[in-house]
Amino acid sequence: MPQDDPTLAVVIPAGGGGTRLWPRSRQATPKQFLDIVSERTMLQETADRVRALVPPERLFIITNARHVAPVREQLPDVPPENIVGEPQGRDSAPAIGLMAAVLETRLGPDAVMAVLPADHVIPHDEHFRDILRLAASVAQDGWLVTLGIPPTGPDTGFGYIQSGETIREEQGLAVRRVRQFKEKPKRDVAEQYLREGGYFWNAGMYIVTVGTLRALYRAHLPQMEAGFARIADALGTPQEEQTLRRVFPTLEKVSIDYGISEKAEKVAVVPADIGWNDVGSWARLAEVLAESGHEAENIVVGQHIGVDTQGALIYSPHRLIATIGLSDIIVIDTPDATLICPKSRSEDVKQVVEELKARGQHELL
19-44 residue pLDDT tens: 999 999 999 999 999 998 889 999 99
Lowest mean pLDDT among 95-104, 204-213, 284-293, 333-342: 284-293
Confidence at residue 2, expressed as pLDDT on a 0 to 100 scale: 42
Confidence at residue 7, expressed as pLDDT on a 0 to 100 scale: 85
User: What percentage of the chain reaches a pLDDT higher than 70?
Assistant: 97
Helix (H, G, I), strand (E, B) or coil at 74: helix
Average pLDDT in the 70-78 region? Answer: 97
pLDDT surpassing 80 at residue 3: no
Q: Quick one: 223 exposed, middle or buried, by C-beta within 10 A (0-12, 13-18, 19+)?
A: exposed
Phi/psi for 305 (5° steps) reads -120, 120
Confidence at residue 293, expressed as pLDDT on a 0 to 100 scale: 58
For residues 329 and 345, give the distance between their C-alpha atoms in angstroms, rounded to a whole number. Answer: 10
The residues, any chain, with a CB within 8 Å of residue 218's CB and separated by 6 or more, are 225
Average pLDDT in the 185-206 region? Answer: 96
Q: Rounded to an integer, what is the distance from CA 60 to the centroid of its chain?
A: 14
CA distances in angstroms from 48 to 74, 102, 346, listed in the order given: 11, 22, 29
Q: Rounded to an integer, what is the distance from CA 316 to the centroid of its chain?
A: 26
What is the domain partition of the chain in residue ranges?
Answer: 8-271, 282-364
Helix (H, G, I), strand (E, B) or coil at 145: strand
pLDDT tens digits, one per residue of 215-224: 999 999 999 9
| Element housing 218 (H / E) | helix 210-220
Confidence at residue 121, expressed as pLDDT on a 0 to 100 scale: 95
Q: Rounded to an integer, what is the distance from CA 12 to the centroid of its chain?
A: 8
Model confidence at 1, pLDDT cuts 50, 70, 90, reads very low
Average pLDDT in the 261-289 region? Answer: 93
Phi/psi for 19 (5° steps) reads -65, -25
For residues 39 and 331, give the distance between their C-alpha atoms in angstroms, rounded to a whole number. Answer: 21
Long-range pairs for 239-248: beta carbons < 8 A, 24 or more residues apart: 244/87, 245/87, 248/86, 248/87, 248/88, 248/90, 248/94, 248/98
From 354, 322, 352, 358, select the one nearest 337 (Cα to Cα). Answer: 352
Angle at 251 between CA 249 and CA 257, to 5 degrees: 125
Dihedral over Cα of 107, 105, 42, 330: its sign:
negative
Confidence at residue 110, expressed as pLDDT on a 0 to 100 scale: 97
Confidence at residue 292, expressed as pLDDT on a 0 to 100 scale: 67
For residues 13 and 115, give the distance between their C-alpha atoms in angstroms, rounded to a whole number. Answer: 7
User: What percentage of the chain reaches a pLDDT higher than 90?
Assistant: 88
CATH architecture of 8-271: Alpha-Beta Complex (3.90)
